[in-house]
Amino acid sequence: MGFLAWAMGFVYIIVCAALILVILIQRGEGGGLGGAFGGAGAGEAFGAKADTSFKKVTAVLAAIFMALSIYLGYLQSPNRGSGLDDQKPKPDPTAPEGPGAAVNPPADDAGDEPK
pLDDT at 18: 95
Q: In 29-95, which ranges are continuous DSSP H helix?
A: 32-36, 41-46, 50-76
pTM, 2 dp:
0.52
Tens digits of per-residue pLDDT, 17-70? 999 999 888 876 555 565 556 555 555 555 555 677 888 999 999 999 999 999
To the nearest 10 degrees (0 to 180), the angle between helices 2-25 and 50-76 is 150
* Domain limits, the chain: 2-79
Residue 113 has pLDDT above 90, yes or no: no
Residue 77 has pLDDT above 60, yes or no: yes
Tens digits of per-residue pLDDT, 88-110? 666 667 766 666 555 565 566 66
The C-alpha atoms of residue 16 and residue 19 are separated, in whole angstroms, by 5
- Smallest CA-to-CA distance from 77 within 65, 88, 86 is with 86
